[in-house]
Amino acid sequence: MRSSRYGWRVNHSAQCGGLLTDKYELTMLAAALRDGTAARRAGFEMFTRRLPEARRYGVVAGTGRFLQALAGFTFDDAALSLLSEFLDRQTVNFLADFRFRGDVDGYPEGELYFAGSPVLSVQGSFAECVVLETLLLSIFNHDTAIASAAARMVNAAGGRPLIEMGSRRTHEQAAVASARAAYLAGFAGTSNLEAHRRFGVPVLGTSAHAFTLLHTGVDGELAAFRAQVAAQGADTTLLVDTYDVTTGVANAVAAAGPNLGAVRIDSGELAVLAHQVRDQLDRLGATKTRIVVSGDLDEYGIAALRAAPVDSYGVGTALVTGSGVPAAGFVYKLVEVDGKPVHKRSTGKESQGGLKQALRVARESGIVTEEVVYPAGHPPAVDARARILTVPLVRGGDVVTETGATALAAARERVVAGLHSLPWEGLKLAHGEPAIPTRRIT
């Protein structure tokens, strides 16, 4: 901890999980404790009323991070001291012993979802469920937005690898979460080292324009390339557009030889340059040298490069901002009290009462035809090719599902299977209806 020059005390390493919330969660808690309703059995549900404009599906992400954060959602002495400034002693004492002891069910991470999908349900006392709202919404709204954008980019790339490289375009912690979400959705790796350490996401990267500019002089670019090859080997990726792309490619092959791993183009008319660079590389004998492109790409830009001889893509700003959709639009609503449904009727913000589960119906070919949402515990009689989506995540406060590397690998496979199961029109980038309809049974 250190003092800032303005007088307050700053401790960047200390963080109380319980304070990752909004004040009104705790003032509601205080009122409920006072009037005796805090212990009533409650059921909350997280869902989105509609998919973002132009999106035909979403990809659930953030489950693993939420379940890990749940264990740390407690209040230490410093937090309790802060909260005592506006909370009564009864509420502060309740929070001093707080630990979530309820149940959580939801869609597995990597599962596709649609408007009205019961992506997460939380059951327990009103007190312990209500205080989780901000935490879970902040995680799921961010990670799901990133994963959903990433899945569209992966589909647009048509099997070519993508690299997440947006750390410099977002908050430092959001960068780590974004890298995980992108990898979950099918990206090959990230430039972010903390995402590699924390989540095992493969880490990739070589050099920027600054390294080339450092080697000023007549043969500056060639000297920079030779230095990079000497340090990293001929399989490295050389950035060839600091000055002139044609000269850059010639210098790259001169520095590394015909076994050069890849060249990267970060500016200009990428489709035109990719064709020119491919032709030049082949003429220089570097027929196996790959071409990586980057520079403000989004799913539309990636799709436009399908016919170009591009081997992989680097994506930054568009990815970590959700490609125009920075939040998934999830809400967290009370839908059940003491086993009885409760309904919100606000205009445009209605909620359907009662806890719900869902299943997805498919043809024999595996192509899905509809999602069916039904009252929890009462699945409808449907075709044998229906698959139940909702699974247990937490029981009695204890996590009952894998949250580490194994779960992340399974989520990646789930995204691939989900995208393959959609009707072809559901994968289009153009505006349109959701990929499949949702049928609600009451």
Model pLDDT, residue 112: 98
Where in the sequence of the chain do the CATH 3.20.140.10 domains occur? 16-146+326-440
Cα 258–237–241 angle (5° rounding)?
Answer: 95
pLDDT, tens digit, 9 for 90 and up, residues 181-205: 999 999 999 999 999 999 999 999 9
Task: Say if CB 77 and CB 109 are below 8 A apart.
Answer: no
The correct answer on CATH 3.20.140.10 for the domain covering 16-146+326-440 is yes
Q: Is the pTM above the cut of 0.85?
A: yes
Whole-number Å distance between alpha carbons of 112 and 51 = 12
Joined tokens for residue 385? 């090719």
Cα–chain center distance at 110: 10
pLDDT, tens digit, 9 for 90 and up, residues 246-302: 999 999 999 999 999 999 999 999 999 999 999 999 999 999 999 999 999 999 999
CATH number of 158-324: 3.20.20.70
Detail the DSSP E strand segments found in 212-288: 237-239, 262-265
pLDDT, tens digit, 9 for 90 and up, residues 86-116: 999 999 999 999 999 999 999 999 999 999 9
Joined tokens for residue 140? 């799921």
Residue 377: C-alpha distances to residues 354, 361, 373, 388, 401 (Å): 11, 18, 11, 11, 20
As beta bridge partners, residue 427 has none
pLDDT, tens digit, 9 for 90 and up, residues 24-42: 999 999 999 999 999 999 9
User: Does residue 363 carry a pLDDT above 50?
Assistant: yes
Q: Mean pLDDT over all residues of the chain?
A: 94
Whole-number Å distance between alpha carbons of 207 and 41 = 56
Where in the sequence of the chain do the CATH 3.20.20.70 domains occur? 158-324
